[in-house]
Chains A and B, each alone.
Chain A
Amino acid sequence: MSSRGFDVRRQTGFTTLALLCFVVLYLPIILLVVYSFNAGSSIAIWEGFSWRWYVSAWENERVQAATVRSVVIATAASLISTFAAVLAALATTRTKPWRGQTAAFALINQPLMVPEIVTAVSLLIFFAIIKVQTGYTGLGYLIIAHSAFCIPFAYMPVRARLQGMDLSLEQAGADLYATPLQVFRHITLPQLWPGILAGAMLAFVISLDDVVITEFVKSAGQDTLPTYMLGQLRRVITPEINAISTALLAISVILVTAFFFLSRTRE
């Protein structure tokens, strides 16, 4: 045996297994992207390169409406959830230890543990009651639902950033005559921005991708991009779906990459 100890990469079949995993993960996505440029209307027979399905998706009014709705909901949800997450992160990192702090931490992260379908069904029933009582059927329900399940995603990077910060900076601020609010504004917040931006972007992507909760909560005519795509799949499948998926994929990749760099950046 080598003195370097156990090296998993030297085991028989490791490379094959690893390659197989990558193929299963990425080949379907690559195929999806490739066929979004298909000139024909099949998603399985290649007939040459064309932008036609992107043009078709771009001009499809239902796609436009769903895209706008998705962006509106994701923007609102990421703003609301990030705001709540910043407050929650401050309360769980910048206070003297308080009773129920661990419970609060668990409750904030609850959406990560509760099965999404359970949240979806409970929201469906809960909102149904409110709809009957108030008669309101607008986008508010989707925004509230998305905000709620996005909070833990926005919370994590903000909390990590707060915990990584040197507490003596805030003490130095207080020592130099800054009131607690001024300390937050001039010392904490400027350093928290990367965490806040990262949290907001993560929340945005999570909201943009959501199918299950949206499908249950939406009223008639409130399709977001993912639920519209799901609806289309039940009918005729054309490479238009591929084109929309590819666009969505591109946006997510850009945002997640930006999140990665933001959360990595330190002084």
Chain B
Amino acid sequence: MIEIEGVRKVFGEGRDSFTALGDVSITIDSNEFFTLLGPSGCGKTTLLRVIAGFTDPTEGRVTLEGRDLLTLPPYTRPVNTVFQSYALFPHMTVAENIGFGLKMLGKPRREITTTVEEMLELVRMTEMADRKTSQISGGQQQRVALARALAPRPKVLLLDEPLSALDFKLRKDMRLELKRLQAETGITFVFVTHDQDEALTMSDRIAVMNHGEIRQIGGPRDIYDHPAERFVADFIGDTNLLPAELLSTEGESARIRLPSGVETQARAATGGQKAGGDVTIAVRPEHARLNGTEGALLPGTLGNVVYFGTDTHYHVDLDSGGSFVVRQQNQPDQQHHRQTGERVGVSFAPGIGQVLKD
């Protein structure tokens, strides 16, 4: 278990200072695949470097299984990193790279050889053992970097955007591979990415970061279905934002009035806004349906219809102003096509709309 408490990091001094991390507190469980997700410059890499020991925080505590990490230099922390650039040692072979950590720990040669062989097998690189790192492809380098960091059996593996240098197809394969490695080794993974798909497909939990702060922590479904605030809703996936009036709340359930005047149930975070105010609600495009205007929550006129192969996006100009996108999965040989200019109504089930914090 990693406990991060009140970690702040300020670079520079006075007017030129920059707060990379402002009061971050997270608890990461053992054997968890935990993802730090956010746009570039949000502080996610800085937080990773604080855990690894390459950056000293200005304030705060970081402990691993109760042991203070911050007083330890990087080379004594039971934590290994997969670097964004891989940082493989160019003057060593693949096998020497993988065995480096164990060699530095002073393990006997036979143990090193066995572990290196295991690791090569784990990442399916056995035939490449004696190659120089410059003689293997980007995807293979990525796997060597993983094996090198896993070989000393760290308690925690830190991954700094490890897939960003790979092409799309390889990236998708590596997601499954990483998930498999994490399950097989039982090591806690802390994964940094700006790619929402990577975060959603691999993580047990995700911490969404922005401007050096944690905006929301939760499972992929939580974060996607119930974003707590506008930034999270916007950053992850596509979303429709609607102005609404909050009439009453009861636990996580909220009664709202949409701009069309229709009332419905939405979901709100407990201890959120008070009733009677203007709020923003978020609705995912695929969570809404397109029907006739009769009894619809939001009537309007159909604008653009964009065909994407797997699904079709319908852009609806709402009578109450603004637009709304509905995404519907395509079926083979679909007969009925809606046309631009048609009168339509947008609906979504009670409890689908999410009241955002700001």
Contact = CB atoms under 8 A, between A and B. Distances in A.
Interface of A: 166, 168-169, 171-180, 182, 186-187, 190-191, 267
Nearest to B134: A267
Given A171-B54, A172-B81, A172-B83, A177 B89 contact: no
A178 B53 CA distance: 13
Given A171-B54, A267-B134, A191 B81 contact: no
A191 B87 contact: no
Given A174-B54, A186-B100, 7 more contacts: A173-B104, A176-B80, A176-B149, A177-B75, A178-B100, A179-B104, A267-B90
Interface residues of B, number: 25
Contacts of A176: 75, 80, 100-101, 104, 148-149, 152
Closest 3 CB pairs of A and B: A176-B101, A172-B87, A168-B87
A187 B101 CA distance: 12
Contacts of B351: none
Contacts of B101: 176-177
Contact of B75 (A166, A169, A174, A190): A174
Contacts of B73: 174
Interface in B72-118: 73-76, 79-81, 83, 85, 87-91, 100-101, 104-105
A169 B104 contact: no
B53 to A, nearest CB: 8
B52 interface: yes
A191 B74 CA distance: 22
Interface of B: 52-54, 73-76, 79-81, 83, 85, 87-91, 100-101, 104-105, 134, 148-149, 152
Contact of A177 (B52, B54, B105): B105
Contact of A166 (B80, B85, B105): B85
8 contacts: A166-B85, A168-B87, A171-B74, A175-B54, A176-B104, A178-B104, A182-B104, A186-B100
Contacts of A178: 75, 100, 104
Nearest to A267: B90
Given A171-B54, A190-B91, A177 B104 contact: yes
Given A176-B100, A177-B152, A182-B104, A171 B83 contact: yes
A23 B282 CA distance: 79
Contacts of A169: 87, 89-90
Nearest to B73: A174
Contacts of B104: 173, 176-179, 182, 186
Contacts of B87: 166, 168-169, 171-172
Contact of B74 (A168, A174, A186, A190): A174
Nearest to A187: B89
For A174, A175, A177, which residue has the most chain B Cβ atoms within 10 angstroms? A175
Contacts of A173: 89, 100, 104
B331 to A, nearest CB: 49
A179 to B, nearest CB: 6
Contacts of B90: 169, 191, 267
Given A190-B91, A191-B91, A267-B134, A175 B85 contact: no
A120 B17 CA distance: 49
